[in-house]
Amino acid sequence: MSNSTSAQSVSGELPLVKILIVEDDPMMQLGLEQTLGDQAHFQIVGQAADGHTAVEMAQQLQPDVIVMDIGLPRQDGIAATQQIKAVLPDVRIVMLTSHTTETEVIAALSSGADAYCIKGTNVNRLLAAIAAAQEGATYLDPQIARRVINHLKLPLSSAPVGQLSQRELDVLKLIVEGYSNQEIAAALYLSPNTIKTHIRGIMNKLAVDDRVQAAVVALRTGLI
């Protein structure tokens, strides 16, 4: 039996997720290795301590997800993310950093990062960020969401917030709190497919393209 098959069977048929850790702090690196390695469907395929090495290892290992710091030697995480996304657009990159300025958050997302988490955050939030990134969504840590609101140009006048159903409002509230689709489904006792349908409805009604923009509209309008 292959390692992939074994991991799938242990984790309830979840597909194996190959993860590359990019972190220059040895203790943080070790902590991430242990935390993520405890997930049965995660496989740590490599670790890099600088941005330049991260780009090389990403091309060699072709991971599914990269957990990336910003403050790295030789090349920072934002530049590394941009280079990786240029050659591997399907790899999901989750920023895990202590950097919280609006400029850095916007720069990271603009470079192609799929999620932005703050170091020291609850482990469940990191797992939620990885899950959201895997689903093709963008995840923004609730701790910094309000700090970047004014930098995301979203036309509020065209957002028909009054048209959201109560169930859509329930889902939107959990999106703002950083829940993944699976966690929202569990919290509301609904199926993941139903949650996806509600999220599509929310994005259509708010005229946004992803979960982060939906959360921003909710916060700016006082909807949540």
Which alpha helices (H) appear in 62-191, and where do they start and end?
77-87, 102-111, 123-134, 142-145, 166-176, 181-188
Q: What is the pLDDT of residue 13?
A: 67
Tell which residue, 126, 134, 140, 221, has the closest CA to residue 175: 140
Q: What is the largest CA-CA distance in the chain?
A: 57
Give the pLDDT score at 120: 84
* Predicted pLDDT of residue 213: 74
How is 33-58 classified by DSSP, letter by letter?
HHHHHTSTTEEEEEEESSHHHHHHHH
Averaged pLDDT, groups of 10, the chain, 224 residues long: 38 79 94 91 95 96 96 90 92 91 77 88 87 84 69 52 84 82 91 92 84 74 69
